[in-house]
Structure formats: C-alpha cells, structure tokens
Amino acid sequence: MIRDLILPQLAMGMSEGTIVGWAVAEGTLVERDQPLVSIETEKVTTDLPAPSRGYVHMTAKAGDVLAVEKSMGQIADTEDEYRSLVAGGASPSAARFASEPEKGRVVADGEVITRATCGRIRASGLAKVIARQNQLDLTSVVGTGPGGRIVRRDVMEALASRTHVVAEVPQTANAGTMREKARIPLTGMRKVIAERMLTAKTTAAHTYAFFEADVGKLLAARQTMLAREQELGTRVSLLAFQVRAVAVACRHVPICNSTLSNDVITVWDNVNVGIAVALPGKGEYDSGLVVPVLRNAQAKGMLQIDQEIKELVGRARKGELSAADMADGTITLSSTGGFAPGAWAVSTPLLNLPQVVNFQPGSPIEKPVAVDGQMVLRSMLPCGLSFDHRAVDGAPIGRFANKLIDLLSNPELMLL
C-alpha cells in the first residue's frame, strides 16, 4: 500500500507550514514513529514522525510552504511499490533508492549532509531554524541551555558576533547623501511575524475600546501577597491578576472567548489565554515575539496562574517553546506595562487570528479623579481592547470592559 504523507493541522488557526528539512534521505526505509520531517509553524519547529513503516518518497523539499492537508510525499510499504512510485514521474535524483536507512545522514535544504555536522548537535527546533536561515554552522555555537543544549539566545548571540561590513556611500558635497546603517533580511521569525500581522490587519474588522480601572485595592492585595512570598512560593505578578480577570470576564461574556474561522464563530468553554512575550535580541535589530498559551485559566487560582505564566515566559525566552505551547489560544493579553511606567501607554494591538479579542493593559498610574464630587488621587490602570467587529458587536464588548473594570477594581470578586 502507498500512503500520502499529509501536512496535519498542528494548531488551531494553522493554515500552512514550511518544510524545514527531512530527517531521512529519499527512498529510506523508516520505522513507524521514526523522526521523519521538521515543520515550521507559529515561529517554532515541530518534528513529525513516520506514520507507518515503509519507503519514503518526497514531493516537497526544504523551504516549501504547504497548505494544511496537502501532501508532502508518500510512504510505500514495499520496495516494489516504492520503485513503481518513483518511476511514475519522479526526477532521477529523487528516484535514488536505499533498501536500508542511511545511518548518520539527514536531508536539509535539499542536500544530504552527515549527522556529524548537525544531527548530534543538541539544539532547540527554533535555534535550528534561525541558524539554517542565516547559514550559521551550529558546530561553532556553544549551548547554554539545559545539558548544553543550543537555544535561540545562543544562536542570536552568535549571529550578532559576526562582523557585518556595511557599504557606506562616499561623502560628497551633498549634505543629504544617505548612508546605510544596516540591512535586515525579512526572514525567519521576523518574516512569520510580518506575514501574520499583515494577515490580521487585512482580514479582521479591527475595532478598539479604551477605558480605565481603579486598581488601588488590587495593588494593596498584591502587596499583601508579596509580603508572604516565601509562604506562597511565588512573587505574584500584576499580570496574574490581569489573566485571572480576563478568564472570569470571559465566563460572563462568552462571545469574547471565541474564534472566527471559515465563516464560523466558535464560542469556547475553556478560556485559553495567549500571553504576548517579547524576545529581546542580542542587538538592536533581532527582537522577536511569541504568544504561549495558558490553558484553562477559568479553572485556576491566582498562584497557579502566576507560576504557569513564569514557566511559559521562561521557556519562551530560552527558545524552548513547542508548537503545542502556542496552540489553541482563545483570547490574547498583550501588556504594555513595561513600555512607559507611570505614563498612560496603551496601543491598538492587532488580533491574534482566529481569536476575536485582544486585551491590552498598561501600567498603573497615579492621577487625580473625581469621587463623590471631590478630586482624589487614585491608581488607575489604562486598558485597551481590540476586537473583530465581524464576530463581536459593541454591546458585548461594553459588557466585557465593564466586567474587567469591576474585577480589576474589586479583586475579591475574582475569587467567586
């Protein structure tokens, strides 16, 4: 029997994937569950295993971008079936055959290379992708991850240490002569970010709402928790309160915890909060962004939420996230808390499709507000909401914003 090797949908909203490289050569006899091919999705790389024992015929090569459910190749049960398969129109180079696996050899970027130069290197999938796209030899990189594993940070530092010579335009009498400082190819993570942001901007009907919440009681509650840091086992972050508020608010206004895909709005029961995490680079030009997902936030208390956030953010900054870590989000939180502490700083975040709401809290600021006819000083949290008007109208967004204000102003309500 000959079976198609289909690109699976590895995460909700995934529509395509990029072939990073095949782990075997054309015609190799593979065993079931043996590593077969690496796929790049959502800024991470996932290794797919062989679905069955057989001989591999590849129709997609490294660098190809395929839609979900499209064929990457075939796997034949027998040698005769394989020979028949490649004789049916494959190129001579693709028809070369190996009756046994070529140990110590992998295929990447269309070439067969020895595992001595790449296969024995312990590196995260994201580190390998970035290195390949920038033609960086990983044998020259020292890993600082667990057990000496090479992670994204190590690759970015190695790239930053390269000597870049930028051609400068000779000085002339014209004072307006332009001089280049740097050229940055739109590749790798930056290309994925660019494509997803453009898709979001040109697909969703982005609409925005802005409001403030008096978080004086919340900050006082947090201070009480911070005083018991050793007892609680964690230094509870403001972000944990915000995630919990989003989870509770979604239970009250379920349409905000939904996705829009293929002309169907799906309202989800579990609240899976995506948390936007900035990835500072070694230099000025190599930053990145990922959105790991904290699942079932509606069923978790403040301490568990805080601990899971820190674990996800830590692994994100080490380049150790998997595709599963960023899958199945139902709503996103994009904090601008670190942008301008003490200032009213909220932007208009793009939606993380197919989700329909993105919540953006800023930093608490002290400002005078009118209370019962008197001007008093209060700690106010500026907030913004981006929502997809194709799926959500202003009325439910208003209820959602009011619920967030109520919860953030009265943190004891988050415990109910």
Tell which residue, 28, 274, 46, has the closest CA to residue 37: 46
Q: Please give the pLDDT value at position 12.
A: 58
Exposure on the CB side of residue 196, measured as CA atoms within 13 A: 24
pLDDT digits (tens, 9 = 90+) for 72-130: 999 999 988 898 888 874 433 343 433 333 333 334 343 333 333 334 577 877 777 77
Q: Which DSSP string do the residues of 133-150 spell out, in sequence order? A: HTT--GGG----SGGG-B
Q: Please give the pLDDT value at position 357.
A: 97
Q: How many whole angstroms separate alpha carbon 355 and alpha carbon 387?
A: 9
Q: How many whole angstroms separate alpha carbon 9 and alpha carbon 15?
A: 7
State the fold for domain 2-119: OB fold (Dihydrolipoamide Acetyltransferase, E2P) (2.40.50)
Tell which residue, 137, 97, 103, has the closest CA to residue 121: 137
Q: Please give the pLDDT value at position 166.
A: 38
Instruction: Name 17's Cβ contacts closer than 8 Å, sequence gap at least 6.
Output: 7, 10, 39, 40, 41, 65, 66, 68
Cα 158 off chain centre by:
22
Q: Which DSSP string do the residues of 316-376 spell out, in sequence order? A: HHTT---GGGGSS-SEEE---TTTSTTS-----PPP-TTBSEEEEE---EEEEEEETTEEE
User: In this structure, are residues 239 and 337 in contact, taking their beta carbons and an 8 Å threshold?
Assistant: yes
Name the residue with higher pLDDT: 42 or 189.
189
Any idea which of 101-105, 168-172, 173-177 has the lowest mean pLDDT?
A: 101-105
CA R_g for the chain: 25
Residue 117 gets the label, from left (phi > 0), alpha (psi -120 to 50) or beta, of alpha
Q: How many whole angstroms separate alpha carbon 97 and alpha carbon 84?
A: 12
User: In this structure, are residues 283 and 160 in contact, taking their beta carbons and an 8 Å threshold?
Assistant: yes
Q: How many whole angstroms separate alpha carbon 25 and alpha carbon 30?
A: 10
What count of other Cβ atoms lies within 10 Å of the Cβ of residue 166?
9
**What backbone torsions phi and psi does residue 271 show, to the nearest 5 degrees?**
-95, 105
Tokens 């139902």, residue located: 330
User: In this structure, are residues 338 and 366 in contact, taking their beta carbons and an 8 Å threshold?
Assistant: no
252 pLDDT above the threshold of 90: yes
pLDDT digits (tens, 9 = 90+) for 399-408: 999 999 999 9
Q: Which of 46-60, 144-158, 183-197, 256-270 has the highest mean pLDDT?
A: 256-270
Q: In this structure, which amino acid lies at residue 104?
A: G
Percent composition of the chain: helix, strand, coil (DSSP 3-state, to 5): 30, 25, 45
**Percent of the chain whose pLDDT exceeds 90:** 44
Q: Please give the pLDDT value at position 176.
A: 62
Name the residue with higher pLDDT: 285 or 222.
222
Tell which residue, 167, 213, 230, 159, has the closest CA to residue 190: 159
Question: Where are the CATH 2.40.50.100 domain residues in the chain?
Answer: 2-119
Q: In this structure, which amino acid lies at residue 186?
A: L
Name the residue with higher pLDDT: 68 or 188.
68
Q: Please give the pLDDT value at position 91.
A: 38
pLDDT digits (tens, 9 = 90+) for 202-211: 999 999 999 9
Average pLDDT rounded to a whole number, residues 53-63 = 90
Q: Please give the pLDDT value at position 321.
A: 84
Instruction: Name 105's Cβ contacts closer than 8 Å, sequence gap at least 6.
Output: 24, 25, 112, 113, 114, 115
Tell which residue, 329, 305, 323, 189, has the closest CA to residue 238: 305
Tokens representing 311 are: 């674990």
Q: Is the dihedral of CA 58, 61, 62, 66 positive or negative?
A: negative
Q: Please give the pLDDT value at position 120.
A: 55
Tokens representing 251 are: 């239970």
268 pLDDT above the threshold of 90: yes
Q: Please give the pLDDT value at position 250.
A: 97
- The 10 Å CB-count burial string (b at 16+, else e) for 126-135 is bbbbbbbbbe
pLDDT digits (tens, 9 = 90+) for 371-385: 889 999 999 999 999
318 pLDDT above the threshold of 70: yes
Q: How many whole angstroms separate alpha carbon 106 and alpha carbon 403?
A: 54
Average pLDDT rounded to a whole number, residues 319-348 = 84
**375, β-bridge pairs:** 370
Q: Domain 203-415 - what CATH class? A: alpha beta
CA distances from 360 to 200, 215, 251, 289 (A): 17, 15, 19, 15
Question: Where are the CATH 3.30.559.10 domain residues in the chain?
Answer: 203-415
Tokens representing 276 are: 């936007």
- pTM of the complete model: 0.67
